[in-house]
Amino acid sequence: MLAITACATLSNASAATDAKTAFARLKSMSGDWTGPKMMGTRMKANYRVIAGGSAVLATFFPETKNEMISVYYLVGNKLVMTHYCMLGNQPRMKLNTKKSTGDTLVFDFAGGKNIKSTNMNMHGETLRFINNNKVESTCEGEEKGKPKSTHTSVMVRRK
Give domain 19-157's CATH number out of 2.40.128.20, 3.90.1170.50, 2.40.50.100, 3.60.15.10: 2.40.128.20
What is the number of other CB atoms lying within 10 angstroms of the CB of residue 145?
A: 11
How is the chain split into domains, by residue range? 19-157
pTM: predicted TM-score of the whole model, two decimal places:
0.88
Tell me the per-residue pLDDT of 17-38, one tens digit each, with 9 for 90 and over. 999 999 999 999 999 999 998 8
Q: Output the average pLDDT for the chain.
A: 89
Tell me the per-residue pLDDT of 73-106, one tens digit each, with 9 for 90 and over. 999 999 999 999 999 999 999 999 999 999 999 9
Q: Collapsing DSSP states into helix, strand and coil, what is residue 38?
A: strand
Q: Report pLDDT for 40.
A: 82
Helix (H) or strand (E) holding 104: strand 104-113
Cα 138 to Cα 8: distance, rounded to the nearest angstrom: 20
